[in-house]
Structure 1
Amino acid sequence: MSNIAELKSRGSKVMHGIDATEIAKHQLLRQLKFDRIIFNFPHAGFFSRESTECQLGRHRKLVSQFLMNAKQMISENGEIHISHKTNGFHAQFKVESIASSHGLRLMEAVKFKCGHYPGYNTKYGFGGDKNFNPNPSKTFKFGLKTLPPS
Structure 2
Amino acid sequence: MGKSKKISKGKHIQKPYSRPSHHRSNKKGSSKSAPSPQVTFTIPFESSNRILLVGEGDFSFSHSLLNAHGCASLLATSYDSRSNLVEKYPQAAAFIADLEAEETVDVLYKVDATKLDKAGKKITNGGFDRIVFNFPHVGGLTKDVNRQVRYNQELLVGFFRSALPLLAPAGSIIVTIFDGEPYDLWNIRDLARHVGLKVDRSFKFQAGAYPGYRHARTLGNIKDGGGWKGEDRGARTYMFYAKDGIASYSEPKKSNESTDDDQD
AA of the residue aligned to 2:161: M
> Is 2:234 aligned against 1:141?
no
Q: What is the 5 A alignment of 1:44-63?
A: 44-48=138-142, 50-63=143-156
For the Cα contact (< 8 Å) 1:71–1:144, is it kept in 2?
Answer: yes
In structure 1, how many angstroms separate the alpha carbons of the residues matched to 2:127 and 2:144?
Answer: 38
Greater CA drift, 63-72 or 107-116: 107-116
> Is 2:206 aligned against 1:113?
yes
Deviation at 1:72, TM superposition (A): 1.1
AA of the residue aligned to 1:58: Y
In structure 1, how many angstroms separate the alpha carbons of the residues matched to 2:108 and 2:210?
Answer: 18
Pick from 100, 121, 128 the counterpart of residue 8 of structure 1.
100
Structure 2: gaps of 5 or more residues: 1-92, 223-227, 247-264
The equivalent residue for 1:31 is 125
SS in 1 for 2:208: helix
Cα distance change, pair 86–65 in 1 and its aligned pair in 2 (3 A): same
The equivalent residue for 1:83 is 176
In structure 1, how many angstroms separate the alpha carbons of the residues matched to 2:156 and 2:197?
Answer: 13
The equivalent residue for 2:28 is none
For the Cα contact (< 8 Å) 1:24–1:72, is it kept in 2?
Answer: no
What TM-score does the superposition give when structure 1 sets the normalisation length?
Answer: 0.85
Greater CA drift, 26-35 or 130-139: 130-139
The equivalent residue for 1:42 is 136
In structure 1, how many angstroms separate the alpha carbons of the residues matched to 2:184 and 2:135?
Answer: 12
The structure with the largest alpha-carbon Rg is 2
The equivalent residue for 2:161 is 68
For the Cα contact (< 8 Å) 1:76–1:144, is it kept in 2?
Answer: no
Instruction: Name the % identity.
Output: 26
The equivalent residue for 1:100 is 193
Cα distance change, pair 124–6 in 1 and its aligned pair in 2 (3 A): closer
For the Cα contact (< 8 Å) 1:3–1:119, is it kept in 2?
Answer: no
Deviation at 1:27, TM superposition (A): 1.9
SS in 2 for 1:123: coil
Deviation at 1:31, TM superposition (A): 2.2
Describe the superposition over 1:112-144 as per-residue Cα deviations: whole angstroms up to 9, x where unpaired.
Answer: 111333432212223x40354242210101111
For the Cα contact (< 8 Å) 2:172–2:240, is it kept in 1?
Answer: yes
Deviation at 1:147, TM superposition (A): 3.7
AA of the residue aligned to 2:212: G
In structure 2, how many angstroms separate the alpha carbons of the residues matched to 1:97 and 1:16?
Answer: 30
Query: What number of residue pairs does the alignment pair up?
Result: 146
Cα distance change, pair 94–132 in 1 and its aligned pair in 2 (3 A): farther
AA of the residue aligned to 1:90: Y
Deviation at 1:40, TM superposition (A): 0.4
AA of the residue aligned to 1:70: A
Cα distance change, pair 37–45 in 1 and its aligned pair in 2 (3 A): same
In structure 1, how many angstroms separate the alpha carbons of the residues matched to 2:242 and 2:141?
Answer: 34
SS in 2 for 1:13: strand
